[in-house]
Structure 1
Amino acid sequence: MTWPGEFGRLNAVFLPILLSFTFQGALCQLLVSPAGPTQVDALAGSNVTLAVSFSGATDPALTWFMAELPVVTWALNSGVGPDVAEGRRTVLRVETSGSLSFVEVPLGYTSNYTIEMTKSGLGKSFTTFTLRVFDVIQNVILRAQSGSAQEGAARFTLQYSMQQGVVEQQTWFFAGREIQSNSHYTVEERSLVILSPNRSDTGRYTVLLTNPFSRATTDVNVSVLYGPDEPILEARPAQPFYVSGDNLSVSCQADGFPPPNAEWVFGSQTLSDSPQGVLNLKRVQPSQGGVYTCTLLNVETGEKRQKNITLNVYEKPSGDPMCSVQSLNNVGLQYHCRWSGGSPQAQLSFPALNNTSSAAGNLSLTFNASPDLDRKTVTCMADHPVKQNNCSITAASPSMFLPAVRTTVPSDGKIMVTIQCVSEASPQAVVSWSKGSAAVTSTSPYQISRDTTQLEIRDYNVSFLLQNYTCTCRNPLGSQKREIQLRGPSISDFGVLTNPNGTIVTLTWEVLPTSVVTGFDIQMKGLDILSRNLDGAQTKASSNRFRTIKKEPGPVRRTDIFIQNPKLTYKFRVIPRALMTEGRPSEVQRIGPGEGLSGSAIAGIAAGIPCGLLFLLLLGGSIYFCVYWNKNKSRQTRYPLSRAVEKAVTTPTETTPHNLLTGGIKSPPDYNRLQQTPSERSMALPAFFPPPPVRVATTV
């Protein structure tokens, strides 16, 4: 068989198969399309269907969306019913064609609806509908949203309401002419807005409401109220100032409809309320000089107009000027100067800060904080026709400070540690708190005081409290930072004092400034407290262990102990506590005449006994060697001496004993006499005399 023939047979087999798959792929494309209009209008309570058809696949899965919310899902002909969203099952139905039907559709179902069909391997297809549900328009009422129209107001709104119905279109008319939206009129939902209404807007307004199923119209008359206009104030007689005792009158007039009422106010006191607006002042006094305010009121609209007139009755301001400096967002400085009262008000200025700014009675100047302002004293100059005065203020950055730590136990049983950081600064420094690198805020277990200078920490767990905290005092001119390492209960210093009789012992102690301590156990070792034995008699017993004899609260730093027997020895120590947590005991302090050897002394003696025995052994050997050497030296040949001569020779010339033999030590024996034989002791003396005997004494 040749290769071309074999290739022809393979083409005859596989070509139909390839064409079949290609044709099938071209036909199998899922497509869903509307089977009717895509915008459907329906009357509320009627039945309506969003009809679709599909092709290219059998039994696809579909999902209907209301806006973006899925409301129905179903796999066609799957044997399982559609899954309709909860609360919509009485309204929504889905057909086998995929169409969505509404049963007695409510008003709230106006929305865009999208059907999405899917089939494995064929992708997705979707189409969108718009459903508008209307109701018949009935009982339309047109009224002003905020009462009467007022000339000069920003806007006036006419708004309609109805008992029922859905409006598709609203049309507004003024005096029979249709209103178009422009710079004076704006048509909004359910309302017509008249921008900046005036007298010419008075008239009849009509609204026409329509939808595909009904229409309605209604109208209302609008009257635009105006005034009061700008008040005109006049003083008679007209002069720049008045002297005590003068008579004068002040009038306040303005145009308006209805005519406005005038009210005169001086300070906080109402002086007159009348349509005429004339204020008569008799025999004025310096206290009556100042600003008089006339308020014109339109009683129909509530519109007010105010205007002031100043009557000068010369009087200097009371007291002295007051200066202060405040922080603005912890960045800027606001210098403030005030000298209230007087007529005219004093002119205030800060020449060192700004020689062009001034104000009457009250002056505030704001500057960015800079090093030049730190600890710089600035003066406010107060200039008044009667008297000149001044005041000064100095802004300063926070100075160095020492934090204060206090520990208490509130009624809830927790340990409360209060850290206070206060730094002298002007303006007052704001304190921020942090633990490590994290900021601390007023959330449990932390509480920051209103002025931020105190941080309270509450917890049952002592170890939780022992953290490293940082307080930063800051104002616009700078900051100071201090770290506080809270420590466990500890004693830094402990001492005892006694009265002259030794019957009262005063214990004093100190703790570390950052130590968390809620109380102290005062302990003693020595004579026990009096106790009763079996026969009822009181006895005293010595104790070799420390016992707690007293408890003191955390703030206490001293206590008195009454001693029963001042001739005995007592030991004291203090144990700091943080609730149930004990700190390291203080050093032990002793009072009394003394006591036996301590354990360390006994141990030293025991270690020294072998050394002492060795020393005595060496000493004895040395003595024996010296005696033995001296004895050998004294063994020499002796000539016989008579007893008389021997006695004469051996008798010492000194009558006092040798200084080495004092203290009850016996003289050593005469070794020369011990070496003589009896015959030698009786023989005559030789012609020469031997040297005197050598006496050796050893003192140990």
Structure 2
Amino acid sequence: MRLEESEKLGALFLSVLFCFTLQGAKCQQVVNALTGTNVTLAVSFSIVPHLVVFWLKGNIPVVTWTINSSSPPSIAPGRTNVLRIETNGSLTFVNVPLSYSDNYTVQLTKSGLETASTAFTLNIFEIIQNVTLSAQPDLAKEGTENITLQYSVLQGTVKQQMWLFNGREVKNGSHYLIERRSLVILGPNRTDTGLYTLSLTNPFNTVTTHKNVTVFYGPDEPIVEVHPALPFYEAGATLNLSCQAQGFPLPIVQWMFGGQIVPNPQQGHLILTNVQTSQGGVYKCSLLNEVTKEKQEKNVTLNVYERPQGSPMCSVLSVDDAALQYQCGWTGGTPPAHLSFPVLSNTITGTENLSLTVIASANFDKKTVICMGDHPLEQNKCNVTASAPMKFLPSVETTVDPDGKIAVTISCLSEASPQAVVSWSRGGGVVVNGTTHQISNDTAKLKIRNYNISSFLLMPNVTCTCRNPLGSQRGQIQLQGPSISDSSLFPNQDGTVITLTWEVPPSAIVTGFEIQMKGPPLMSKNGKSVNTKSSSDEYQFIQQKPGSARSADIFPLDPNLTYRFRIVPKARLTEGKPSEIHRISPGEGLSGSAIAGIAAGIPCSILFLVLLCGLIYLIVYCNKNKNRQTRYPISRAVEKAKITQPNTIPHNLLTGRLKSPPDYDRLHQAPSERSVALPTFVPPPPVRVATTV
């Protein structure tokens, strides 16, 4: 080796005498160099024209050149700033980096001759600087975990390390373990206290560092107590947890719960007031020797009980349409409640949630199954009853999709436990999901879509079957066109607002309703009539209602005019038969039954008047015949006395327009006694009779 004085950093030139013939003499060299210097791997050989030199880093070609060629050498990309080939084929590294440590091979070849090669091992080193030696733990308790002395180097390449304890070399054995960057003291004791020295060496420098190690003792096994000492505690109680241990220096006590540190102002004592169930669990007492970093830990478990929330909840589900799964849940308690189905099994139990599956049979139909919940603070229960599907009537709901198609949704809901699964058929064929027919996720609804109402009316009956493990029920429906089954009119007290109500048959397809009116125009808000082009003798469209509507308010009306209303059901553009006509007139307000009673009472009143008049006529006729009977002779004295009686004042009832009846006794006097001619008989005027209903 020699130094190249021309280089700035005093690069090291390593010349290797490489003597060979082209038939193949070989030799090998190991070269150590300092990072940042210039290094040359030199070769010498017999001069041969057109000799090609190949340099390889490992197995990767890095430089290729023909000796004395005018063409520049071929250097691998990214390496031109480091590698340089000399005129004699030697390879020079400029400011060599640490990463260029590797095995290098040079190959010399000539066409027609054998290839000669040799290898170099280039080791690049850095000056060792800033060595730090640390101990983990720095100070340890006697007889506990190992002490690890570990070093770190800010810069430099370590070729060899040596450990000394109090001036004596440390070697691997039962008490010491030397690793790549550390020395482990196995089972340290008091005799391991002293000075430890580390010496790090490479071909260019040596660094020595020291570390004092002191071994302490403690903490001892902790003693943990809870006051008061009980197997479990009710929520709201106050507890005192204490943790003590011997050691030097005196260990620091730390309480942990749920992975979090719990503050304890009193050394070693943790006081819990108004304890809740969330504070129940495992509490860890950790004792730390601040000097040796030694720890001792001990756990204590607190059981805090609380009643479960509410009451147990029971349910029953279907399993493969052949079995019943009874479920029971009672959550929130601490500890979880113990659950069981005594009627179903005496051996299967669970906590918080329990499920038990049994084969369905008629014995379980309407049979009540009880779930028993047992908790240290409370016992409770719930029950559930499984039942086969009940009889039901399918219902129809009609809408219009955005694309203008009529959508009829048939619902088949049967009361059952567990919930029934519905299957659909039409005209003997099974209905499946598609463009026209869509079955809901819970299978309880079938949606049929089409543009034409006639397609719904001509289709066969739709049948739905509700089934659960305990039985089945079937419902059938035949769709019909838009229609109204019943309607009514209700006016307000002033006669300015009416409410129309109506009902639709369950199987009718109705997408909307048209409210029509016959009569004068409706009034505006200012009380004036609104002029319309339609005649008052024709029905006019006044409102449009959706298919779900069952009532309509119409206002304002003139209470002094007569109006007629009707409701026309529609299925998109198809109109059904209008409802009955509802009429409202001035002074109306009587119900239909009152009007019917009045209509029936009029002929009865006339008949009663006829009978009464006949009875009066019969009475008058009988009195007339009685007055015409033969009279016996009367004493003249008496007769004269009778004649000479003064006239009396007529009865008050006869002082009006009616005249007093004639004195029929005077008409029977003898002709000689008559002072004047006999008057002509005038019958009494008819009596007026007034009847009020």
TM norm structure 2: 0.40
Structure 1 length as normaliser, TM-score? Answer: 0.40
